[in-house]
Amino acid sequence: MVFLADGLAVRNFEQGPHITSRMGHGVHLEPLTLLSALAVHTERIGLAATASTSYTAPFHVARQFASLDHLGGGRAAWNLVTSVSVAEARNVGFDEHLPHAERYARAESYVDVVRKLWDSWSDDAFTADKAGGQYFDPQRVFPAGYRDEHFAVEGPLNIARSPQGHPVIVQAGSSAAGQKLAARTADVVFTAQPNLESAIAFRTGLRQQVEKAGRPADALKVLPGLMPVVGDTEEEAQRAFAELQGLIDPEVGMAMLSRLLGGVDLSGLSPDAPLPELGGSNAIQSRLELIRGIARSGRLTIRQTYTAIAGARGHHTVIGTPETVAGVMEQWFRAGGADGFIVLPALYPQHFEKFASQVVPILQERGLFRKEYAGSTLRSHLGIPRKEHFTSIDRQVA
């Protein structure tokens, strides 16, 4: 699938336009409109867009993802995020970013609202009975009728149930609250894991939680991020990586680190000072833990810390020949650290093309990557079943 990260603000803008202008990202087409355009120019690839549960009404999100799922014939995925910055809050009418616990409490309700809205109509609701003058069967519509302390949503959704039943739900929150939400509701988890050991521990723990939540462990696919830097030789790959690392602007590196630490002010410090003690914060909790781990293990300076995370933002980086990269992927997969990967090339289109043309064929040879599609929906590509409507499940049981 094509996976579009997103936020409701120009990234890092709160640190000043000067910094943002040196980062060169965060200003782009809006994901749902862009993927709708791509949906009608592609046939099989999954289409994953990010949308926030903190700053958009669930009706809009449920509706636009259902519409995207219709447009692409069943390939939509919603990457559910709770948003990360005060800048986003300030673009939609709040003075402060919602605290972490409140964001996740809200997200738990939000997913339930969206899933109820996606079940507003049974798959066979639209009878289009011209002779009888009936467009749908009034017995086959199920308004959400949702009301709790976070949301009041009557429904039904004003779009028919979509090809996948429910678009795929992706989550990237790897904190305890994020894992709890994912275990109950996600189909895919995108996670930053610095090494195989942590990846195995994360996936094993999450699968246990999935089972505790009453779902089969395989219902959720864990996809760690992977930044491949591929060269014809190990040396060439290392050179390419070093060249990229050399391009990291110290000001940008410090700003990025400060942001990943939830807005900790590093501006008065030298890049070569030791990383200061990290307190609690309203940042991405799991990323904060990861940086703590990096800093703790090696007693790094600020510069060493941002250098270690600036390229792949904390995701695992593999540098080497196509065989090396394919080998690491196979190792993670076979050892239970991953059900697959979100590939994060550092440079488009060059690094993506190298990966696609040189690494993928090796994975195919080893039987680890498909040679042709077995189905047409993203759920089929992921090996997870279509989400059937509760009335059709009732009928099957009866």
Q: Which residues bind its own copies (CB under 8 A)?
A: 7-11, 13, 16-18, 20-30, 32-34, 36-37, 39-41, 55-57, 59-60, 63-64, 66-68, 70-71, 87, 90-95, 121, 126, 133-138, 141, 143, 151-156, 158-160, 249
Q: Which is nearer to its own copies, 114 or 318 (CB)?
A: 114
Q: Which is nearer to its own copies, 140 or 292 (CB)?
A: 140
List all residues 6 or more positions away from 40 whose beta carbon is below 8 Å from its beta carbon: 71, 72
CB of residue 337 vs its own copies: minimum separation in angstroms?
34
CB of residue 141 vs its own copies: minimum separation in angstroms?
5
Whole-number Å distance between alpha carbons of 36 and 181: 27
Task: Indicate the pairing of strand 76-81 with strand 2-4.
Answer: unpaired
DSSP per-residue letters across 155-182: ---SSPPBTTBS-EEEE---SHHHHHHH
List all residues 6 or more positions away from 196 whose beta carbon is below 8 Å from its beta carbon: 331, 332, 335, 337
CA distances from 158 to 59, 150, 230, 348, 389 (A): 10, 22, 47, 38, 17
Q: Which is nearer to its own copies, 143 or 216 (CB)?
A: 143
Q: Which is nearer to its own copies, 211 or 251 (CB)?
A: 251
CB of residue 53 vs its own copies: minimum separation in angstroms?
13
Q: Which is nearer to its own copies, 166 or 221 (CB)?
A: 166
CB of residue 210 vs its own copies: minimum separation in angstroms?
31
Whole-number Å distance between alpha carbons of 224 and 316: 8
CB of residue 249 vs its own copies: minimum separation in angstroms?
6
CB of residue 274 vs its own copies: minimum separation in angstroms?
27
Cβ atoms within 10 Å of 97's Cβ, excluding its own: 23
Whole-number Å distance between alpha carbons of 295 and 284: 17
Q: Which is nearer to its own copies, 81 or 159 (CB)?
A: 159
Whole-number Å distance between alpha carbons of 74 and 164: 5
